[in-house]
Chain A
Amino acid sequence: MRVVWELYAAFFRIGLMTFGGGYAMLPMLQSEIVEKRGWATEEEVLNYFAVGQCTPGIIAVNTATFVGYKQKRIIGGVLATLGVITPSIIIILVIAGILDRYAENVWVAHAFAGVRVAVCALVLSSIIKLWKSGVKNTAGILLFLAAFVLVAFVELSSVWIVIGAIALGILLQIRQNKRSGKQEEKEGDSSI
C-alpha cells in the first residue's frame, strides 16, 4: 500500500513542477522516477514516451500510467495518473474561479484581448515546429491541407479525420505487405 501512495505523491510532484507537459516532463521524470526511486531506467522512460505519443491521450498521463502499472499493476497505474493530474485540477479551478469573477472588469478584458493575440502567435509557432517534425514530403503537405480544409471550411468533425487517417495508414501498410509478398514470390520463382 505504501508504494501505491508513494506513486501518487511522486507523480503529484511531477505534475506540480512541470510547465507545459510532454517533453518538458522528462527532466522531472529522470530525477523523481529514475534517479531517486529506480522505478524505471532511463531507456524505459524514453520507451514510455514513444508509446505515449502513439496512443491516444496526454503524454504525461500515458507515462504516469506506464510507470504506475509496472510497479503496482492497475491500482498503481490509476493512482500515478491521478497524482499527475491532481495539481492541474486544483490550480486551474482556483485560477478559473478568480478570473471568472473579474471577467467583466475593463482592465481584465483589455489584458485578455492582448493575451489572445499572444496565444495566436504561440499556436502559430507551435504549428511551425510540429510542421518541421511531422510534414516531411508532398504526401504530408497534402494530408495537412486536407485535414485543415475539411475541419476549417467543410466543418467536418476532427474525430472523423482521425479515424480516416488511421484507416488510411492501415490500408497503406496492407498494400505494402501485398507488394512485398508478391516480390518475394517472384524472387522465389526466379531462384527455382
Chain B
Amino acid sequence: MIILTLFLEFCKTGLFAIGGGLATLPFLAELTEKYNWFTTGQLADMVAISESTPGAIGINMSTYAGYHAAGILGGVAATLALTFPSIVIIIIVARMLEKFNENKYVVSVFGVLRPVVVGLIAAAGYQIFKVSIIHVDAFIQNKSLGTLFDIKAGLLFLVLFAAIMKFQKHPIIYIGIGAVAGILLQM
C-alpha cells in the first residue's frame, strides 16, 4: 500500500517539478508534512548526499526519499515514478513538435514559471534553514532567544556561504567542510 502511495506522490512530483536540479525540493519538502516518511532534517541530508554522488540531483533525492519511506523497494518505486511522467511527455513531444520550445504559449508560460520556481525552491530552502540554523519551532515553544539562534551554525553558515560565492568550487567540498566543522564544533 505504501508503495502505491509513494508511486503516486512521486509521479506528481515528476509531473510538477519543472526546471531540473533543485526543482524537486519543494515537492519533497511537502511530503515531510503529509507523511511520516522522513523529516526536514533528513531532507537536508539527502540534498547533501545527492550533490556529492554521481547522477542527477532529483533522481538521487527520490531514491533516498523512497528508501527512507519504504526500504529498497521504496527507493526503486519512487525513482521510477519520478521518471514516468517525463518519459510519457517527452515521447509525445518528440513525436508532435520539433519546435516545442519556440511555441508562443510555451515561451509565455516559461516567462511566468521561471521566477515562480525560484520562489518555490526558496520556500523549501527556508524550511531547511528553519531546522538547521534558526530554530523557529523551538523558539515558539520556550520563547528564549538563545534557542532561536544557533550561534555556531549561524557563523559556519556565513563562512561557508561567503566561500561558496567567492570560490564556486564543487558542492562536495563545502559539504565535506561542513561535516568536519560539525564534528570539531560538536554541533
With CB as the reference atom, state the residue of chain A lying closest to B181.
Answer: A114
A3 beta carbon closer than 8 Å to chain B = no
- For the A-B complex, the count of residue pairs with Cβ-Cβ distances under 8 Å equals 382
With CB as the reference atom, state the residue of chain A lying closest to B114.
Answer: A134
| Interface SS of chain B | helix
Decide: A121 near B101, CB < 8 A? Known: A21-B57, A60-B56, A143-B112. no
> Min CB distance, A137 to chain B, in Å?
9
Decide: A114 near B20, CB < 8 A? Known: A54-B100, A58-B86, A176-B108. no
Q: Mark A108-147, 1 if CB is under 8 A from B, else 0.
A: 0011111111111111111110110111100111011111
Q: B-side interface residues toward A, CB under 8 Å?
A: 12, 14-22, 24-27, 30, 33, 41, 44-45, 47-51, 53-60, 63-64, 67-68, 72, 75-76, 79-80, 82-83, 85-87, 89-91, 93-94, 100-101, 104-129, 131-133, 153, 156-157, 160-161, 164-165, 170-172, 174-175, 177-183, 185-187
Contact A21 B79 (CB under 8 A): no
Decide: A92 near B63, CB < 8 A? Known: A56-B16, A116-B128. yes
| Interface SS of chain A | helix
Contact A56 B18 (CB under 8 A): yes
Contact B54 A89 (CB under 8 A): no
A192 beta carbon closer than 8 Å to chain B = no
Contact B59 A85 (CB under 8 A): yes
A88 beta carbon closer than 8 Å to chain B = yes
How far is A84 from B90 in the complex, measured between Cα atoms in Å?
15
Beyond contacts A18-B56, A143-B119: 12 other A-B pairs, Cβ-Cβ < 8 A, are A19-B51, A54-B101, A57-B15, A85-B80, A89-B59, A91-B54, A96-B63, A115-B45, A116-B131, A116-B178, A117-B160, A165-B112
With CB as the reference atom, state the residue of chain A lying closest to B50.
Answer: A92
Decide: A91 near B53, CB < 8 A? Known: A53-B20, A118-B175, A122-B164. yes
Contact A135 B44 (CB under 8 A): no
Contact A113 B59 (CB under 8 A): no
- Looking at A17, A52, A78, the one whose CB has the most chain B CB atoms below 10 A away is A52
Contact A60 B90 (CB under 8 A): no
Decide: A55 near B93, CB < 8 A? Known: A117-B160, A125-B164. yes
How far is A116 from B125 in the complex, measured between Cα atoms in Å?
11
A158 beta carbon closer than 8 Å to chain B = yes
> Could you pull out 20 A-B pairs where Cβ atoms are within 8 angstroms?
A15-B54, A57-B89, A61-B87, A77-B91, A84-B55, A84-B56, A88-B54, A92-B67, A93-B75, A110-B185, A111-B179, A111-B183, A114-B156, A114-B180, A120-B44, A121-B161, A123-B124, A126-B21, A161-B119, A162-B116
Contact A122 B47 (CB under 8 A): yes
Contact A148 B56 (CB under 8 A): no
How far is A1 from B148 in the complex, measured between Cα atoms in Å?
60
Partner of A120 from the list B16, B22, B125 (CB cut-off 8 Å) is B125
> Min CB distance, A95 to chain B, in Å?
6
> Min CB distance, A63 to chain B, in Å?
9
Decide: A99 near B49, CB < 8 A? Known: A55-B86, A58-B59, A88-B79. yes
Partner of B187 from the list A99, A110, A130, A147 (CB cut-off 8 Å) is A110
Contact B82 A57 (CB under 8 A): yes
